Amino acid sequence: MISTRDLSLSPDVAGLKALSQSLALLDAILCPEWELRYYSFNAHWDQGEQMASMRNGSGDGYFLLFTPEGAILKGFAHEAPMSPYRVDPPQVWPGVLDDVPGVFAAFLSEPAFSMEDTTFCIWRRCTDNHWQHGNIAFPDGDDPDGSAGLLALLDGDPRSYQAWAEYYYE
């Protein structure tokens, strides 16, 4: 299972882009109403950039930006122990966004991505051999940042999507 604790099963940037497009297309076929879809893909987010997203309708989801430099994904699971809302005033868990490479600085300041609502963040530059995340002291638990739940369908196994779609779309 993919999570920030084990990103080894994550596809490379090109594979993740193709998978994200596939998930969005399948959702568009199964659910013509855009506002009810889980997965979306915007091929023209900005010049040279594409954006994929997932939203579960309960406030959880992710934004994934593809740039010429690579890809970055930020996720939010509102019930995760690492939720920014565990403290008052809310703040992102230490380390989650602290080590993001400068090539992704625009992502961190994009209002549409609601960076204040972040429980995990991963990135991979085109020159990287694997996905990365910041230096984080994770709290106890199997999925403290909610990444395992939100990234489950990014394993590239069509059976994962089929099982999920049969459950969600009945």
Residue by residue, pLDDT tens for the chain (170 residues) are: 899 999 999 999 999 999 999 999 999 999 989 888 899 999 999 999 999 999 998 999 999 999 999 999 999 999 999 999 999 999 999 999 999 999 999 999 999 999 999 999 999 999 999 999 999 999 999 999 999 999 999 988 899 999 999 998 88
Contact by Cβ (8 Å): 19, 156: yes
Count of the separate structural domains present in the chain: 1
Contact by Cβ (8 Å): 115, 92: yes
Q: Residue 70: which of 137, 147, 129, 134 has the closest Cα?
A: 129
- What residues make up the domain containing 25? 1-74+85-130
Would you say residue 137 lies in a domain?
no
Would you say residue 48 lies in a domain?
yes
Q: Residue 50: which of 12, 96, 16, 3 has the closest Cα?
A: 16
Confirm whether pTM is higher than 0.85: yes
Would you say residue 140 lies in a domain?
no
Would you say residue 112 lies in a domain?
yes
Contact by Cβ (8 Å): 141, 93: no
Would you say residue 69 lies in a domain?
yes
From the CA atom positions of the chain, what is the Rg in Å?
15
Would you say residue 169 lies in a domain?
no
Would you say residue 143 lies in a domain?
no
H-only helix segments in 31-146: 105-108
Would you say residue 106 lies in a domain?
yes
